[in-house]
Structure 1
Amino acid sequence: MEKKQQRLFNAAHDLFLTQGFKATNISAIVAGANVAVGTFYNFYQSKTDVFVQVYNAENDRVKRAILANVDFDQAPNPLIKTILKQILDQSANNRILQEWFTNAKLNGIIAKTNALTVENSFIYATLVTLIDRWLAAGLLKPTMTKSRVLSLFNALTVVDFHQSELQTDDYFQLLGDLIDAILLKILK
């Protein structure tokens, strides 16, 4: 990333983190980066464009931090619940990540932008590693193949991408219930 682009990215990150998406504008981003407005458009098409890039970087950073502190030798059920709880806790205290849950328009844009990159994500790679470990340890039911288990967890991604369309007062409880059901289905 070029120096000016990095300064813009850092300023946008700081502003989105402290003010949220709605309260942040391009003028404040360029002022924070100490560049001209035209420079912003050399690197980003819009405030939404820079937000999606900031969101993706923040999301990856938080997931890496969470997974660095998780005991992967736990049984699958508490392990998945620990990871999910950490992700939800980190999101609750992070204005950038909160936009996924509170801004349906941004949620849709992020989902559309990232739909093709889920399989390349850090969390997906970690899930594949976990499933391999569970298979090797004989923790999965005999009818469960790696691809079948991945498909079940991938379905959660689809649910998450469309969570603003779900009619529920407690999305996090719903997500927890779906994970419980998947684990009940796949584990011995």
Structure 2
Amino acid sequence: MDKKAEIYRCGKHLFSLKGFKDTNVAEIMKMAGMAAGTFYNYYPSKETLFLDIYNEENVILKKSIMESLDVNADPMHTMQQMMLLNYQGMNSNPILREWYNRDVFNKIEKSFCEEKGLKNVDFLYSNFIEIVREWQAAGRMRSDIDAELIMAMFTALIVAETHKDEIGIQYFPHLIEYLAEFTMKGLLDCPARTLNEEEDDL
């Protein structure tokens, strides 16, 4: 028997059933049929196990979203669809839903940042930057802004979720939805005149 895989399986089952806060290592190991101390041969903490499970579930969700997108649709619609699918996916998955749980998100975020959880979804960057470039080439998105900078804007939206405590968790996920909407409107509108251009007219 692969002991680590069994601990993972039992942890995922209990986290999904009872949530992060109400699941403890002793319960996981009892279900796995192993001594409680064996857990620490494979994971340093409950948070580490949960984060492994969270990251895998997050990758599965993000891949399914990318596969379902119609890149030929209106860019605004595509972004709104991405946000909606992500919100629905996060809320329908009991593991991912813990990200919005006020009681536990601080512990999850701390581990997420320490383990560089965003690195697990790097594939989103490489796939989506090509979509952005296609939109720019087709005149469907501003081409006066580098695709890399546009991706940095999208990354900022994602990273904002790791600062829910400072911003105020009560504003999520609506704050992200509005920021995404305003960002996309700015990227689809005609380029704004810069201060230098305005000074040249004076």
Give the TM-score category using the shorter length.
Answer: 0.7 to 0.9
* Structure 1 segments unaligned to the other structure (5+ residues): none
Taking the aligned partners of 2:2 and 2:70, their CA distance within structure 1 comes to: 38
**How far is 1:182 from its partner?**
1.1
Alignment of 1:22-61 (within 5 A): 22-61=21-60
Asked if structure 1 preserves the Cα contact closer than 8 Å seen for 2:137 and 2:143, the reply is no
Taking the aligned partners of 1:20 and 1:122, their CA distance within structure 2 comes to: 28
Report what 1:124 is aligned to. Answer: 125
SS of alignment partner, residue 95 of structure 2: helix
**How far is 1:140 from its partner?**
2.1
Report what 1:178 is aligned to. Answer: 179
Taking the aligned partners of 1:46 and 1:168, their CA distance within structure 2 comes to: 25
Compared CA separation, residues 68 and 120, structure 1 to 2 (3 A) = closer
Taking the aligned partners of 1:119 and 1:184, their CA distance within structure 2 comes to: 29
**How far is 1:15 from its partner?**
0.9
* Structure 2 segments unaligned to the other structure (5+ residues): 190-202
Residue identity over aligned pairs, in percent, reads: 26
- Which has the larger displacement, 119-128 or 22-31? 119-128
**How far is 1:42 from its partner?**
1.1
Count of residues in Structure 1 that have an aligned counterpart in Structure 2: 187
Bigger CA radius of gyration: 2
**How far is 1:74 from its partner?**
1.4
CA RMSD of aligned residues (A): 2.1
SS of alignment partner, residue 125 of structure 1: helix
Asked if structure 2 preserves the Cα contact closer than 8 Å seen for 1:91 and 1:98, the reply is yes
Taking the aligned partners of 1:168 and 1:110, their CA distance within structure 2 comes to: 18
**How far is 1:119 from its partner?**
7.6
Taking the aligned partners of 2:134 and 2:115, their CA distance within structure 1 comes to: 27
- Which has the larger displacement, 102-111 or 90-99? 102-111
Compared CA separation, residues 30 and 176, structure 1 to 2 (3 A) = same
Report what 1:92 is aligned to. Answer: 91
Asked if structure 2 preserves the Cα contact closer than 8 Å seen for 1:99 and 1:106, the reply is no
Report what 1:139 is aligned to. Answer: 140
Compared CA separation, residues 130 and 119, structure 1 to 2 (3 A) = farther
SS of alignment partner, residue 144 of structure 1: coil
**How far is 1:17 from its partner?**
1.0
- Which has the larger displacement, 23-32 or 65-74? 65-74
Compared CA separation, residues 119 and 60, structure 1 to 2 (3 A) = closer
Q: TM-score w.r.t. structure 1 length?
A: 0.88
Q: TM-score w.r.t. structure 2 length?
A: 0.82
SS of alignment partner, residue 44 of structure 1: coil
SS of alignment partner, residue 140 of structure 1: coil
Deviations 1:94-147 (A, max 9, x none): 221122111232242244135474385333333223213223322221321111
**How far is 1:31 from its partner?**
2.0
